[in-house]
Structure 1
Amino acid sequence: MTDMTCTAEQLIDDARTRVTLFTFAPGQQTGWHRHGFDYVITAITDCHMRLEHPDGTTTETTVPAGAAYRRDAGVEHNVINAGSAEMSFIEVELK
């Protein structure tokens, strides 16, 4: 059985920020989580994401390589690589 959890490599974790590189093979996911801090995501590759939400709905979005977005603390979801290629992004959490 293949591990369906993505790889999370912590690059920085200090008093002000936590920076993590996430890498997903097709079909891999983060698992359910709630963001405790405001955060910024920057796509390293094109990221074809399926997002599962607490109310049972799912949405799909593509974040192009080099694009960034931010979200407030409290977001809860499961992120899945819905594409056919590996995807990766950097997450910067603002403590």
Structure 2
Amino acid sequence: MCGKAKAGTALPTEFIHNERARVTEWRFMKRGDNTGWHRHEYDYVVIPLFDGFLEIDNGNGSITKAQMKTGVPYFRKMGVEHDVINGNDFECRFVEVEII
């Protein structure tokens, strides 16, 4: 995730970073762990590695609950600003692929 303005408590592990893509696994150990507020500078795909929910804080005072299904990816355009939060009572992970 690019443009990170405030560090969160989720643990990123970067697997690939080259001139075409950046692939990062995000690990949330417990409910409430978060990525930290950030803005995406590239289009990206997220592949959840769990069944459950992520809570998305878009900075407008409300939290959106997004359902995740193991292996079912979703795509977002660059420019998204948010903080992603573990909304589950268990550890969860996802892989993020940024298209540079």
- Fold in common (TM above 0.5): yes
Shift of 1:54: 2.1
Find the counterpart in structure 1 of residue 24 from structure 2.
20
Structure 1: 5+ residue stretches without partners: none
Alpha-carbon distance in 2 for matches of 1:82, 1:45 = 12
Structure 2: 5+ residue stretches without partners: 1-7
State the AA in 1 paired with 2:88: G
Aligned: 1:41 with 2:46: yes
Alpha-carbon distance in 2 for matches of 1:89, 1:21 = 6
Structure 1 residue runs of 4 or more that deviate by more than 2 Å after TM superposition: none
1:15-64 deviation line (CA, Å, top 9, x unaligned): 00000000002220001000000000001112411110122221002211
TM-score by structure 1 length? 0.92
The RMSD of aligned alpha carbons is 1.1
Identity of aligned residues (%): 38
CA contact (8 A) 1:47 1:81 kept: no
SS of equivalent residue, structure 1 residue 88: strand
